[in-house]
A and B are shown apart, each in its own frame.
Chain A
């Protein structure tokens, strides 16, 4: 066990490790009631965090694609991680909830870059709804002036930070060893269809040709790659979820076919579990007298 952990950090390049260290320092600086309790201002912590994030992300390399796409990846990735950090270090519960919402939105931007617009929209619906419920609790329970002492401190800052970064390091290590490069499955232009409206009206083939300037990888190449993948006995994708010219991977139809083709059992199982939870919540909830609100 110890050997594995040491190998994680020794096999890593110094840029990423120093970036992680800076990030840890930033979090500890900004955390209310953290290690640096004497700090009056949070700005050095913020600077540490940003510098650490830049270092960590640069050791990964950006998205493969055009300059604009790469820029968007950088903006969304840094924003997501920074907002996450600010969420856990925020002294005010309302601001924490807002940072959480912003982190979610940035992640949705990353989903968009990965040709998953439906996933992005669904994440906004689900998580924004969840944050609104958080707001409900904040409005009901927390005072606006934030005078309550328990809002101002965090317990066990150092062990918690170190433990979570250990987990993060393990994830990085796994990603680094098992999947050295993440392959784009569908070009951006196909699912977002950044073409003019007239081209939408005409045949799909022409439209696909029209979006050529934004395509990172041609569809044929991906299909050929999938064909090569499927020839190996271990990977046998469902025929339903095979991407075609008219139903690319990122589109709603492609997603639906994949969810209810490849992953039908998992989807049904998740639905059943949610139904059980729903019934349980109704059963557990206290019953009021008739006529009382």
Chain B
């Protein structure tokens, strides 16, 4: 009988019956996760479209197995190694994947400094948060600079170029003409890396905002650094997308 009285005073409450957060996460953090999920759908739509269009075109097999020289063709999908093989200051040297490798390294390192900033935020260590946020911002800006170089190189084109129907020479690529292969290859390059670059850019803007807020002590007054955590989630997502872009656009 005594046990019954106790249960009468404290009714049994399920996890989802209210009065507590069942997912043990704040509203803002939860919404950041669902925003990232929706963003993942957008990026996968772009990448899957790339896959589909690539499969609906013939593969360029002029240099299969290291035999023969690679010849770009307007009908066959280009081999990424042969298109993205340039590194700044090394003109004319064939270095496939080296520059994107450097970009990948920069973005992974900026992700590491971002986790370190979040970790410092948990400890309410404002100086450490500032330091690591600054490193993350530098990493993000460096990545954007690399991407700008990659774009301008892609647009300027190779030394050989292609001959157009009217007899003129064309170098590089834009949304209408493309020396590397089928037109959609250039269009998808601009859209996918451009959409990712836009995310990096907005990430850098958000990082600068929270750096400013950290510096003026907003989060110390608030009592927690959760905003750093939320922007951190976004920043890691940008890194995650790059991992997929790197594989599907440059490796395969």
- Is B one of A's binding partners? no
**A residues whose Cβ falls under 8 Å from a Cβ of B:** none
**B residues whose Cβ falls under 8 Å from a Cβ of A:** none
